[in-house]
Amino acid sequence: MVSTASTSLKPPSADTLKSQPFGKIEPNSTKYFAACMLGGIVACGPTHTLVTPLDLVKTRRQVDPKLYTSNFKAWRTIFASDGLRGVFFGWAPTFVGYSFQGLGKYGFYEVFKHEYGDNLFPNTNRTLVYLGASASAEFIADIFLCPFESIKVRMQTTMPAYAHNLREGWSKVVEKEGISGLYKGIAPLWARQIPYTMCKFATFEETVHQIYKTLGKPKESYNKLQQTGVSFLGGYIAGIACAVVSHPADVMVSKLNSDRKPGESAGKAMSRIYGNIGFTGLWNGLPVRIVMIGTLTAFQWLIYDSFKVYLGLPTTGGH
């Protein structure tokens, strides 16, 4: 049986506190949670932006499987017509949106993990704490992300492009549909991202716990480089798992943002789209997404925990 919650962080040593670049940061303090939010921005914004070429092709193939015969064919075609800028098309809403999402995802996860595990339900099973905290954090994070995700998908899946940059896309959506147009994909986004994040954080925490258990020594006996290496491995395993769990909803988000008719409810649109693509259509683009999300998640945890180490804080998990 999995042990009960033990989410409190051990206070850093005196030597660690001296090396902290921003002074003493008390675990589970306002300053600590703010640092985690900043770490989430650093971990998510740049990493998602770097995999824009993968995301661009994945999204287009989800919407139209016949558009490209392969991912490499897609990149060659896009590069031949639009150059490197075309391959990274949609990078701006990706960077801004996922920076905000990282703030909410990682920062509020730490908040809710502390509140649920230490204050509200101190004797609850550890995994349930991780699942509840990550679900609550992602609910908030998606409210930050949704407008930018909506613009990104419209830009990437329409030909000619719905808009050529973030500012143009934002203006066009608001002018034609109002602010609500930026949030028409919020329900499927929650359906995609909440299970994804629950799987991502709970799998990561338990994987890291099992790695240290298998190694046979407590986390504190390893140096910070070794600990961040464990974070990278745990992140990659978690990324593969959550890519599979969330992929059908990811396909539906892409379809809804590109193929939802004016005035059509989300439920009616999803029913119509599913009728067109069927169950197998929900898995279009899964191999490339596994590579993308596995690598992405691994580097996010590596960057996030490296940032925490830089601030003199413990890495995530392993207790």
CA–CA distance, 263 with 266 (Å, rounded to integer)? 9
Q: What does the pLDDT look like over 59-92, one tens digit per residue? A: 888 778 788 888 888 999 999 999 999 999 999 9
Around Cβ 69, how many Cβ atoms within 10 Å?
11
Tell me the CA distances in angstroms from 9 to 12, 149, 179, one per residue in order.
9, 34, 41
DSSP label of 262? T
Stated pTM of the model: 0.80
Q: What does the pLDDT look like over 177-192, one tens digit per residue? A: 999 889 988 998 898 8
Give yes or no for a contact between 204 and 235, defined as CB atoms under 8 angstroms apart.
yes
pLDDT at 16: 47
What number is the average pLDDT over the span 272-276?
88
- Domains by residue range for the chain, with CATH: 30-311 (1.50.40.10)
**Residue 19, pLDDT above cutoff 60:** no
CA–CA distance, 145 with 101 (Å, rounded to integer)? 5
What distance, in Å, lies between the first and last C-alpha atoms of the chain?
16
CA–CA distance, 231 with 303 (Å, rounded to integer)? 9
**Residue 22, pLDDT above cutoff 80:** no
Give yes or no for a contact between 204 and 301, defined as CB atoms under 8 angstroms apart.
yes
pLDDT at 14: 46
SS3 84: helix
What number is the average pLDDT over the span 41-46?
96
Biggest CA–CA distance in the chain, Å, is 62
Tokens 């998606």 belong to 142
Q: What does the pLDDT look like over 88-118, one tens digit per residue? A: 999 999 999 999 999 999 999 999 999 999 9
pLDDT at 20: 55
Q: Which of 309, 273, 317 is nearest to 62 (CA)?
A: 273
> Which tops the pLDDT comparison, 9 or 118?
118
The alpha carbon dihedral of 129, 133, 136, 138 has a sign of negative
Give yes or no for a contact between 166 and 96, defined as CB atoms under 8 angstroms apart.
yes
